[in-house]
Amino acid sequence: MRAMASLFLRSLTFLEQASPPAGRQPCKRLIDFSKNVRIAVTYQNSNYLASVEDISTHLDDPNLVILDCTSTVIPADAGFTVADGREAFEEGHIPGAQFVDLQSDLSTPSDHLLFTLPSADHFGDALNRLGVGENSRVILYSTGQPGWAARVWLMLRAFGFDNAAVLNGGWKAWTNAGLTVETGAAKTRPVASKPFGWTYRPGFFVSSEEVTARADGEALVNALGPDSFRGEASIAYGRPGRIPGSVNIPTFSLVDPETGFYLSQDRIETIFADAGVRPDAPLIAYCGAGVAASNIVFARSLSGAQARSVVYDGSLLDWSSDPERPLISG
């Protein structure tokens, strides 16, 4: 499965557009954080990121909940399929981590959409089963690009839970540091002693109506690769092209392609500025199905932008389902 995914990942424009995920093999060498950690890189909201040094020294904390959020998009005759990362998780994961499948565990089933926001009860039940409660600190990671983890981070915030962070560098950072790797299925965690009150709060996801009615000066950002933005990619989300008025900030442009670490705050801000997105401009991000777009919002939040930044939840799969909604190419 991993070999097939690695072959396809080079051509994907949905999310995994940089280096393919590192193999999940147990690492036995001595820990050497100096080769893995970007020292002195700070952000306005540094608490939105976690480091491997921090996590590795708190694995015994009963309030620490680590979630591997990885899925893989694979080209298929009818467009693409989505495979969860459970098999790779069982080959190796951070000790004590749980696996969460974004599509089957955290999304509302739909005939033509993926990863659609569930109800607060649905989401809360899933997180309760994973051991998340009032006193939990949640760490999210994925292989390859961090958009899968960023999506779950944004969903947690949408349902009222703020004490969560994305592991900077993801699985690659963990294995590159030579840290302990656990294999097999996840160990069942007890239900949290103090449940969290899951309640949906607006301000993180929007619908097609809000995209259509967006105000002058509100940036619309396409998070796919340049070929998808032009409507030339092998994968199309219903119909090829982009929503009129969009600018392009590929999700992979926000992380270092070699290490998977997020770029510095200055470089992130420059990328947004070069795309014509003012720091004070509200922003709607979209992609194929709302995952890559979540990384746009996460990176902008990390850098401390105060302007409203939200994800178009249905993204192109939703937009393109209505032939009256325009898409442009070129």
Closest CA to 113 of 236, 284, 289: 289
CA 231, 233, 234: angle at the middle one, nearest 5?
A: 130
Answer left, alpha or beta for residue 65, where phi above 0 means left and psi between -120 and 50 means alpha.
beta
Residue type, 46: S
Maximum alpha-carbon separation in the chain:
59
Residues 6 or more apart whose CB falls under 8 angstroms from that of 49 comprise 43, 165, 166, 167, 168, 262, 302
Q: In a 3-state reduction of DSSP, which class is residue 268?
A: helix
Closest CA to 70 of 137, 127, 24: 24
Helix axes 292-302, 147-158, angle to 10 degrees: 70
**What is the C-alpha to C-alpha distance for residues 69 and 181, in angstroms, rounded to an integer?**
17
**What is the C-alpha to C-alpha distance for residues 267 and 269, in angstroms, rounded to an integer?**
5
Active-site residues: which are they? 287
Residue type, 95: P
Closest CA to 142 of 264, 330, 308, 298: 298
Look up residue 45 and give its two tokens. Answer: 């909201």
- 313, with CB counted inside 10 A (0-12, 13-18, 19+), is buried
**Cβ proximity of 22 and 173 under 8 Å:** no
